[in-house]
Amino acid sequence: MHKMLVRAALLLSLLVLAVAHRVSAQELSGYFGLGTATNGVFGADYMLREHLGFNAEYAFRFAQASYLPEAGLNARPAFYDFNAVYQPGPSHSRIVPALTGGVGGAKVSLYFNQQACAISNVCNSQSQFIGSANHFQVHGAVGVKIYVTPALFIKPQFDAHYVHNLDQQYERNFVPMYTVSVGYTFGRR
């Protein structure tokens, strides 16, 4: 999982650098942030016009969360989505609201954790990946980019994920998420 995150972050960084010189008429923003339940998020917005563009985002949990503690099972959820972006205000403003909506997937990875102790203070813990479940999701978000410099912004955002069949694992299909990201905009501003 960690290697996949590093590869995705490197790919996103290369994309930002490769496209940055070609965005004189467009706008490209990359961001990384933290959110509820020790989640991390990174993504990029590419605005084709002043008010309309698209976005790709990946939200993940940094560490495993307790899933079925009596059975020694932990889980690590992740969400990825591809969205349309609408920014109703002027893009050159210091405060730029954004509405985002699209589709993607959710992946829940399961791990078996085991602890063995020879004596009370000499213990060994192991965590082993046992499988994952992938689900289709619909995503929507409301956020605002607050520019602290002409290119550097802070982006608080509320996300709503509707994940088909997630209720079989978590008793609900709706997953809300709150994040605050820091990002940088290349191109027109």
Number of domains in the chain: 1
Write out the residue range of the structural domain in which residue 58 sits: 2-187
pTM beyond cutoff 0.75: yes
What residues contact residue 10 under an 8 Å CB cut-off, 6+ apart?
A: none
Residue 184 in contact with residue 33, Cβ under 8 Å? no
172: its two tokens: 């609900």
pLDDT value at residue 71:
80
Residue 101, classified by CB atoms within 10 Å of its CB into exposed (0-12), middle (13-18) or buried (19+), is middle
> What is the rounded (10 degree) CA torsion for 68, 69, 75, 76?
140
For residue 44, count other CB atoms closer than 10 A to its CB.
Answer: 19
Per-residue pLDDT tens, the chain, 189 aa: give them: 445 554 655 555 555 555 544 544 478 999 999 987 568 999 999 998 889 999 999 999 888 878 777 788 888 899 999 999 999 988 788 999 999 999 999 999 989 888 777 777 788 778 888 998 899 999 999 999 999 999 999 999 999 999 998 888 788 999 999 999 999 999 865
Domain containing residue 110: CATH number: 2.40.160.20
